[in-house]
A and B are shown apart, each in its own frame.
Chain A
Amino acid sequence: MPELVKLIGLDFGTTTSSAVIAAALLRRTATGRVDLDEQEEIFRSEMVFTPIDANDRLDVEAVERLLDGWLRAGKVQARELFGGGALLTGLTAQKDNAAALVRLIRSRLGDALIATADDPCLESWLAFMGSCADLSRRHPEAFVLNLDIGGGTTNIALGRDRQVSRTGCLFVGARHVQVVPGTYRIVKLSTYARELFVHLGIGKGPGDDLSAADVDAFLTLNVRLLEAVCSGDRTLLEIPAVQRLEQVRFDMAMDILDSAVTFSGGVGELIYRHLQGEPWPATTHYGDLGIDLAQRIAAAPVWAESLRRFRPGSGGRATVYGLLRHATEVSGSTLFLGSPHLLPLADMPILGALTAQSSDAHIHDVLLLIQQSSRGGCVQIRIGSKEAVVVAEFGRRIARILQQIAFPATHPLVLLVEENLGKVLGQYVTCWGKLPLKVLVIDEVPARDAQYVQIGTLRDQVVPVSFHGFRPAGETP
């Protein structure tokens, strides 16, 4: 019988936080692979303001109450969780006590899932998958550029046919300028906003009213920057105050003549709601410039065609749905688990990539790096052939080099293999179990350009695998 598991997505953003919990079945498909099937959403929280205390730090106690309430409402126990994760995004990730919140989340969700802060490229990837996965599949020929505009950041991802090829991140968002709702009286400015105000000659701060010209100048610069991202024009980014907004550089591929541009995040949701006929909320209703930014984007001729033709999903919850549905890969079901008790493995560093064509020297270097890593490490493998003779020879070479470098028997070594060849590769690598090694070979896992991987415990012959610490290119190293 298929096993019932639960998935979770938690997003603690600059402005708002939200949770989604779903139940799913681990089901064997016709080809023998196990997939997550029949996902049913069992809980979706309200969007709530991310709890911030008087000192502009995360209110960890309030978050704890929030988190426990969500888990109760979703009737979820940590041991039931198979996939998904939690992200601290935007400016929340930059709070000085963000790490404390990550620890809190891990204490609740366990080590199998992602729980991380300040991983903008992962966030961009997830936002793309959460909002554009279906759209991208319906238009597999089209490049889709998704701008996920939240309170603090704009997470950028370019992809085609559900494969993200580039990511980046800007400190452009709704909440850099906080105002009294219904007015343009400044309540608070972010560091980035203050620098932009200086650059624009707007000499105003908390308590001052922004004029129409001030607002226009500030938003025009924001929108021009977003336009520049889409066109690949970096002229504007030569201005130091603007350059500071670039958290992770995004280089638009210049050979792409035409891409569909979509928007997600809170600002994206406002745009598409308006396009569907909803009136704009009242002036600065949310106490920031998000509505004004959405209005500028909706009116910009450069995006008119895309906004008319393409409609992404999930809106303001793109990241949380990305987490829920796409953060976790299901491994193959014929794994080599020489030391299954090692699982779950959290934050395993990915220290290299190999193929059957890799030289002995390359294999040696990667394995040595793992040997020198205090916690062991992981190597991503694309064998490149399913022929027994190739797999056997590759496995024997790895075994030989492991013996040469006297790889310690107590040191965790994880091989993440793209092909369905984990069991046999593990057997050749361990000389049919004779080499005393703590080796896990997890197969049918696509390579990701990430620095870390989480691997959960064995469920119905498969393990959940999640990556974090994404690099901007979004490609295999």
Chain B
Amino acid sequence: MKTLTPLIDIVVPEPRPDQVYTRRCFDHDFRFDGLKRLLGAADCSKAGDRNAGLSTANETEREVARAILSGLTLQHLYDHPLTDNAGKIDSVMIVNYDIDRQAFADVADMTLGQLKDRLLNADGFEVQRLGRGLTGVMAAALAKLCDVHELIFIARKISKPTKARTPLGIPGTLASRCQPNHPTDDLRGITLLIYWSLALGGGDALIGVNPAVDTVDNISRILRHIDKLRRRTGAPTQICVLAHIKTQLACLENGVPVEILFQSLAGTDKTNNEFDITVDLLDRGYHTMAEKGPLKDVTEQFMYFETGQGSEFSYGTHNGIDMATTEALCYGLARRYDPFMVNNVTGFIGPETHLDSYEMIVANLQDHFMGKLLGLPMGMAPCYTLHSNITLEGQQIATQLVTAAGANYFMDVGLNTDRMLAYFDTSAHDDQTLREVHGRRPAPAFLEWGLARGIFALDAQGNVARGPRWGDPRQFCESDAEYQDLLAATPALYGTASAGPRPANDVARLTRLNQGVGRAAIHAELRIDELQQLAPFRVVTTEASSKDAHLGSPNLGARLSAQSRAWLVAENRQVQIVVSDGLSAEAVHHNLRDLLPVLMDGFAGHGYTTGQPIIARYGRVKLAEPLADRLQCDVVVYLIGERPGGDALASRSLSAYLVYRLDDAAQQDAARFSGNPAIRFEYTVISNIYSGGLPPAEAGGVIVDRVGHQNELPCACKFCTHARPCTPLSK
């Protein structure tokens, strides 16, 4: 087991005042106040950095920043540890200084530009050796100086195989990490997606489920089930459920097979606090796995981390550091635990961090480069949500490039469509395509298993080809009835037919069509004239002045425009209905006709006083709070379009948030239960309102019932995890 250096023993220079970096270029003076600004300016322009005010205004300024950065020595970067907003060095930064001091000494006097050239000239062993002497900030600075070819060329030299039960990342291989997520953790759906993945030659890196419900019971249930499937199929791989590390450790204490310990990481302590983790907790997890993990006798690599550019920014806890640098700081933290695997999911958050395919592709290449340089076994998951401008084509370009760069594995999300997380990732079809295009094989033991089952075959030249049973999930079912059972429990599965290594055209067309409908729903505008046929709506606006602003900056839609603030006055009604597009205007149009009349009848039937209903274009859920404050209503019934996933029908799905404005007595009660003295609102939500889920008319009945019987509900406020009696809405 690797000895973890106590934080107190890691030498970190004292923080220094920000240095101002200046340069005169073509009659212009450029100035960057501090290393954080310089690092941000030197990067390609990405939405998260732009929104954080860290990007440059133009390419000239960017190149000046790069030129200045190129001239800084490694020692300079070493001597200027980046601090948090209070000027302190956080524990993530401390861990980043746990470096190979000899390797650092060899390059300390070099400039970053010189080091980049040396890495381009060096062989793989030397690149890896030097990488061990670098902090995350140094790796990020190098990434900002590299063009695409350089990001690929240097990373390509680095081989980082690891081993748990089976090996991962052996040169010449390209593995697949099966992610059979299901929106309700239905084991039948999870089973089918695992069977299909294995049949497609996927899952040799790991079979790992992101759970919908993170409880010890549920995680234990899923882990035991996928352990059973692993044994039954004989697939040589390892398993994991991507719950919070605390939940997994509790499962492990109960004897549940936690073979690989997972955790999402961020590059600042503050963001990790949001994830409810600390370095101490990660250390404890590592030690517990070494003592009690089911694979403790066969490996010392049992940790699995997921990261991705932008989480620090999206939580507002990035400490003024750009996305690539905070990402590299994650890697410095991950390196401490010599993980079995790291998965990078840049693109997952949305347009507020990565607006389009270009930004996502560049970020993926940077992440892969930085991770490999810092000694991590990098798997990649170029991915996207439908509310960004990243497309499947952009994602596929990214996979080709990071395969060329030497990624250890990609994700397998069936038909690219994650059924739980409503985002789009790589698939086993993609993995097989990349194996064939780039001449890569699955992991050795998995290949043998696949050959024996007819999933793979060897051609006359000894190349690995698809076998006669490749792609057929039925081979793992005992009967067709079992297969049909599993299939019925699996949403957004448009067929299993293949053509070569790709989904058959009919399957691809249906998949893409569903995505297209989902994306169109996001970008559609509310047709206010139509809605005003249903009720005499009044219209408010937010600080988001356009659809792009609304999608790209979530905060704008949570604030009323000055114009609307001006005319909204206190009305002191009990209930206020607000309708907003959110992330699907189509959801509003498909449901309101049958939902609104029931709400109006119900509120009138109960004798509640109601305000004239409101439409809020480009709104987010949090807009309910300023609206409730201005109108002085007791509860806002906020009807808003949900973020579409991969199923066209579900892109019409609406949510109803009941947002209660707390009076003084309720506020004290809520503050006591939530531990949040500033709490002013409580939320409860009724989701999945559409013809394929909760029918809108029925949803109306449920909403009216909830509004009137709030005292029967637990406190639903998002800050509060404890049940408590809530105050009923007085009639």
> Chain A: residues with CB nearer than 8 A to chain B?
1-2, 27-32, 37-38, 134, 137-138, 334, 336, 386-389, 391-392, 419-428, 431-434, 443
Contact = CB atoms under 8 A, between A and B. Distances in A.
Contacts of A423: 698, 701-702, 705
B704 A422 contact: no
A424 B697 contact: yes
A334 B698 contact: yes
Tell me whether chain A's interface is mostly helix, strand or loop, or mixed: mixed
A387 B691 CA distance: 10
Contacts of B184: 27-30
**Which of B187, B215, B598, B691 has the largest count of A CB atoms less than 10 A from its CB?**
B598
Given A1-B217, A30-B182, A388-B593, A427 B701 contact: yes
Main DSSP-derived SS at the B contact region: helix
B481 A420 contact: no
Given A1-B213, A30-B419, A388-B598, A37 B187 contact: yes
Contact of A387 (B188, B489, B594, B702): B594
Contact of A432 (B217, B491, B605): B605
Contact of A386 (B480, B594, B701): B594
A334 B701 contact: yes
18 contacts: A1-B213, A1-B217, A30-B186, A31-B688, A37-B188, A137-B481, A334-B702, A336-B701, A388-B593, A388-B595, A388-B696, A391-B697, A423-B701, A423-B705, A428-B601, A432-B602, A433-B606, A434-B605
A248 B680 CA distance: 67
Contact of B186 (A27, A138, A428, A431): A27
Given A30-B419, A32-B688, A334-B701, A137 B489 contact: no
A36 to B, nearest CB: 12
A137 B215 contact: no
A107 to B, nearest CB: 33
Contacts of B213: 1
A154 B705 CA distance: 50
Contacts of B695: 386, 419-421
- Of the listed residues B186, B189, B692, the one surrounded by the most CB atoms of chain A closer than 10 A to its CB is B186
Interface residues of B, number: 41
A139 B695 CA distance: 32
Contacts of B694: 32, 334, 420
B697 A387 contact: yes
Nearest to B490: A30
Contacts of A419: 695
A433 B595 CA distance: 19
Contacts, number: 102
Contact of A392 (B182, B188, B597): B597
A443 B597 CA distance: 21
B335 to A, nearest CB: 36
A424 B700 contact: yes
Contacts of A38: 187
Contacts of B481: 134, 137-138
A427 B218 contact: no
Contact of A29 (B489, B602, B697, B700): B489
B316 interface: no
A336 B704 CA distance: 12
Interface in B556-614: 593-595, 597-598, 601-602, 605-606
A1 B697 contact: no
B693 interface: yes
A33 to B, nearest CB: 9
Contacts of A336: 701
Nearest to A37: B186
A468 B276 CA distance: 53
Contacts of A392: 597-598, 601, 697
B186 A1 contact: no
B701 A30 contact: no
A28 B183 CA distance: 10
Given A138-B480, A386-B691, A388-B593, A424 B605 contact: no
A138 B693 CA distance: 27
A66 B688 CA distance: 47
A388 B218 contact: no
Nearest to B596: A388
A29 B213 CA distance: 13
A443 B697 CA distance: 13
B602 to A, nearest CB: 6
Interface string B695-718: 111101110110000000000000
Given A30-B183, A138-B480, 18 more contacts: A30-B419, A30-B491, A31-B688, A32-B688, A334-B694, A334-B702, A386-B691, A388-B595, A388-B697, A388-B700, A392-B597, A421-B698, A421-B701, A423-B701, A423-B702, A424-B698, A424-B701, A427-B704
Nearest to B480: A138
Contacts of B188: 37
Nearest to A135: B481
Given A27-B186, A432-B605, A32 B698 contact: no
